[in-house]
Structure 1
Amino acid sequence: MTFLSGLKDSKGGRPAVLALVVLLQTSAAVFFVANALAEWGEDGLGPQLWMQALVTLALILGVALGASELRRTLSHQQDQDATIAKASGEMHQVVQRQFDTWQLSRAERDVAYLALKGLDVAEIAAARRAAPGTVRAQLSAIYGKAGISGRAQFAAHFVEDLLAEGLPGDPPPV
């Protein structure tokens, strides 16, 4: 794995790579400006210095564009994080309201929530320090109160609400 691929795989991959590129470009621009100033003092304005000045200007423009893209990417990432947090909070509220409607007990709510997260009976039992038989009985009670026959229908009940808008590209409802 290379250094850049390691940055891409991290949580903030794209911003980290952009920040590294902007840092490298800035360092190169500083070097070229210092070099051009030194040569100007020694040789005056010759064709090579003009070429260095153009390359340095292009590099500085790249730094500015890279920094702008980095700012835009970070802003977009913050917007996405906020949207995910909001959706997560709203989903939690939808689940809790449905648990209220089904009149689940505190223990049943805990088991139902863990089941929705995808834990199996043994994992739920371990998390709750309960016997697997107790968890199975609680799941049966939850399914009975919800009017469903099993775990697949239980999870589908909540996914169905998320997919109520239909698939992308589906015609809008009439």
Structure 2
Amino acid sequence: MKRPRRLAKTKERRATVLAGIILLQAICALFFVGDVLADITAVAQIADVHLGLEALAAVSLIAGILFLMNELRRLLIRMGDMDTGLRAAQGQMADVMQDFFDGWNLTEAERDVAIMILKGLDNETIAQVRHTAPGTVRAQATRVYAKSGSDGRAQFISLFMEELMSDDFAHNDAINPNRHAG
């Protein structure tokens, strides 16, 4: 789960940087608008090139501010949508895992080991977390692989990756765990 968090932090930083740029442009736009107004009230000629450039800079900065504010709004909406989708996928993944585990008739201990395998823990770490012997974890992992019809850790994990990447993931009403065996 480190990668989605890293991506979320990158998007948050991007939004913060964009907000900072908008603020900086707003300050610059205020300066140029104030300078143009001061020049006009000082009875400067409107045809003055310097005044025209300042007015153009002010208008450009205001247009940039409006554009960036729109981009920031869209970025925040996208971030919200992605966060909602990620939470939904996590919930669906839990349902998918339970459906598979039920179909394979895993015991509670085997379910715990299977979840930790999916999280990427090795047998030694699983043994430490579960306060059991490494040999017990190896035996439970072997039973999980046998019941799932997989040849080992990599193939076991790929069962879930296939399900995540399948078009049926959003419609996981009738998961048939045996379709992956073989």
- Code of the aligned partner of 2:158: A
Task: Work out the CA distance in 1 between the residues paired with 2:166 and 2:103.
Answer: 20
* Cα shift at 1:28: 0.5
| Gaps in structure 2 of 5+ consecutive residues | 1-8, 168-182
1:20 corresponds to: 20
2:55 corresponds to: 53
* Residue correspondences, number: 157
Task: Work out the CA distance in 1 between the residues paired with 2:155 and 2:60.
Answer: 60
Task: Work out the CA distance in 2 between the residues paired with 1:142 and 1:57.
Answer: 66
Question: Is 1:161 aligned to residue 174 of structure 2?
Answer: no
Task: Work out the CA distance in 2 between the residues paired with 1:107 and 1:11.
Answer: 39
2:174 corresponds to: none
1:38 corresponds to: 38
Residues 8-45 of structure 1, C-alpha deviations (whole Å, 9 max, x = no match): x7452322221121111111111112222222232444
Q: 1:149 to 1:54 in 2, by over 3 A?
A: closer
* Cα shift at 1:106: 1.8
| Gaps in structure 1 of 5+ consecutive residues | 1-8, 166-174
Task: Work out the CA distance in 1 between the residues paired with 2:70 and 2:162.
Answer: 40
* Cα shift at 1:164: 3.8
2:180 corresponds to: none
* Cα shift at 1:51: 2.8
Residues 71-117 of structure 1, C-alpha deviations (whole Å, 9 max, x = no match): 11111121122222212221221011111111222221111001011
Match of 1:120 among 115, 119, 122: 122
Task: Work out the CA distance in 2 between the residues paired with 1:114 and 1:45.
Answer: 76
- Does 1 or 2 have the higher relative contact order (CA < 8 Å, sep 6+)? 2
- Code of the aligned partner of 2:88: K
Matched residue of 1:33: which SS?
helix
Matched residue of 2:96: which SS?
helix
Task: Work out the CA distance in 2 between the residues paired with 1:97 and 1:132.
Answer: 27
1:68 corresponds to: 70
- Does the aligned pair in 1 maintain the 2:39–2:51 contact within 8 Å? yes
> What root-mean-square deviation, in Å, do the aligned CA atoms of Structure 1 and Structure 2 show?
1.9
Task: Work out the CA distance in 2 between the residues paired with 1:27 and 1:115.
Answer: 54
1:3 corresponds to: none
- TM-score, normalised by the number of residues in structure 1: 0.80
Matched residue of 1:119: which SS?
coil
* Cα shift at 1:123: 1.5
Greater CA drift, 156-165 or 120-129: 156-165
Matched residue of 1:149: which SS?
coil
Structure 1 or 2: more helix by fraction? 2
* Cα shift at 1:126: 2.0
Match of 2:106 among 104, 107, 112: 104
1:169 corresponds to: none
